[in-house]
Amino acid sequence: MPFIEQASEAIRETGGRFTQQRRLIVELLEGAEGHLDAERLYQLAHARDETVSLATVYRTLNVLEGAGLIDQRYLSHSHERKVYEPVGASEHYHFTCTGCGRVIEFETQRVQRLKEALEVGLGVRVEHACLCLEGLCYACRTQQEGR
Amino acid sequence: MPFIEQASEAIRETGGRFTQQRRLIVELLEGAEGHLDAERLYQLAHARDETVSLATVYRTLNVLEGAGLIDQRYLSHSHERKVYEPVGASEHYHFTCTGCGRVIEFETQRVQRLKEALEVGLGVRVEHACLCLEGLCYACRTQQEGR
DNA sequence: GTATGTGCAAAACCTTTGCTATAAA
DNA sequence: TTTATAGCAAAGGTTTTGCACATAC
């Protein structure tokens, strides 16, 4: 099912309303190449529809997250701001280059395996795992190494 | 070398001054059983020495982090606040129970291996890795499961 | 003595919330 | 028509900063 319909249904199921502002925000999230933070999402939405406010962006993001449709992530070590992306099928994580700002996505089973190891070893149930990786990408690394 | 001396030397090496406030904050960080956030550190420090302000706590934490003496961590999924701890020899990470708030420390080589895999696979240099795990500890999990 | 550090209060920053009007159902 | 959602602006919580005074070196 397309993401917009998923969102529309999920919101309506809980008695919520699929307003034009919410529709626009959902469309932008779906179409985004990269990872949007609230401010950027607001800029994009506001450019298309002046009636969208930053408060509505935040409220909509929280609604969508509550419905399990998007994930919050932190990309930087300092975690200044959250970015949001549709929940996908693949377990993927992010590496952010502190040199050029590029975000590299990668898939790995290692986090999943770590979770399983902890559930067995510590007897816990892991509900959230956040992994933020930072450093230099290949281009920035070789450039810094002076060649 | 004791942590206090390390800190004293590191600060002085960069032309900094090892003031009484900084000494106290370093002592508290070293002696802490758990993971202190800035507010808690301020409470402890201020109780012992009224001249310590919250601003000085933050400034000192930043100086110590810059000198590589302490690490910032986020324990919760929502990352509301940072906690600080001396840089240790062991690679350890944290699991926070959302039921009772308990923080479980554990050691693992898995993050280190993930880093190495990325450095080879993507050609990057990983400088920071932040892993935040949340869920239910054994006690809270069994209680919630109703038995 | 000089530069760095300090407290205080105000600002910065991202995010949430109270209120009244609006619009989805 | 009913009730959730909107915008706006103000508040929230954590962290940083400007300034004048204090203090480590």
Give B28-79 pLDDT, tens digit per residue.
999 887 689 999 999 999 999 999 999 999 999 999 999 999 988 888 776 7
Token code pair at residue A75: 């990309």
Taking the CA of residue A94 and the C1' sugar atom of nucleotide C23, their distance in angstroms comes to 40
CA dihedral B72, B73, B76, B78 (to 10 degrees): 50
Cβ atoms B82, B74 nearer than 8 A: yes
pLDDT of residue B101: 83
pLDDT of residue B40: 95
Residue at token pair 């990408």: A137
Tell me the C-alpha distance between A131 and A31, whole Å.
24
Token code pair at residue B112: 């280190």
The whole-number average pLDDT for the span A13-41 is 92
Out of A47-61, A100-114, B1-15, B133-147, least confident range = B133-147
- Interface membership of B103 toward A (CB under 8 Å): no
Token code pair at residue A12: 């309506």
- What is the rounded average pLDDT for all residues in chain A? 90
Distance (Å) of CA B65 to CA B32, B84, B85, B102: 17, 9, 10, 25
> How many helices (H) and strands (E) in chain A?
6, 6
pLDDT of residue A89: 61
In chain B, the domains with their CATH numbers are: 1-86 (1.10.10.10), 90-147 (3.30.1490.190)
pLDDT of residue B42: 96
Residue at token pair 């959302």: B98
Smallest Cβ–Cβ distance between B114 and the set A78, A110, A126 belongs to: A110
Token code pair at residue B13: 């090496």
pLDDT of residue B145: 79
Taking the CA of residue A78 and the C1' sugar atom of nucleotide C21, their distance in angstroms comes to 39
Q: Are strands A92-97 and A70-74 parallel, antiparallel or unpaired?
A: unpaired
B122–chain A nearest CA distance, Å = 7
The whole-number average pLDDT for the span A62-90 is 84
Nucleic strand D contacts from chain B, 40-79, CB < 7 Å = 54-55, 58-59, 61-62
- Which residues lie below 8 Å from residue B125, measured CB to CB, with a gap of 6+? A135, A136, A141, B119
pLDDT of residue A29: 95
pLDDT of residue A67: 93
pLDDT of residue A147: 57
pLDDT of residue A100: 86
pLDDT of residue B70: 92
% of residues, chain B, pLDDT over 70: 96
A68-72, B40-44, B99-103 — which one is most confidently predicted on average?
A: B40-44
- Interface membership of B141 toward A (CB under 8 Å): yes
B89–chain A nearest CA distance, Å = 20
pLDDT of residue B81: 80
List of chain A residues whose C-beta atoms are within 8 Å of the C-beta of residue B79 = 74, 79, 130
Distance of CA B67 to the CA centre of its chain: 14
pLDDT of residue B55: 97
Token code pair at residue B42: 């301020």
Bridge partners of residue B125, in order along the sequence: A136
Measuring CA to CA, which residue among B87, B91, B56 is closest to residue B72? B87
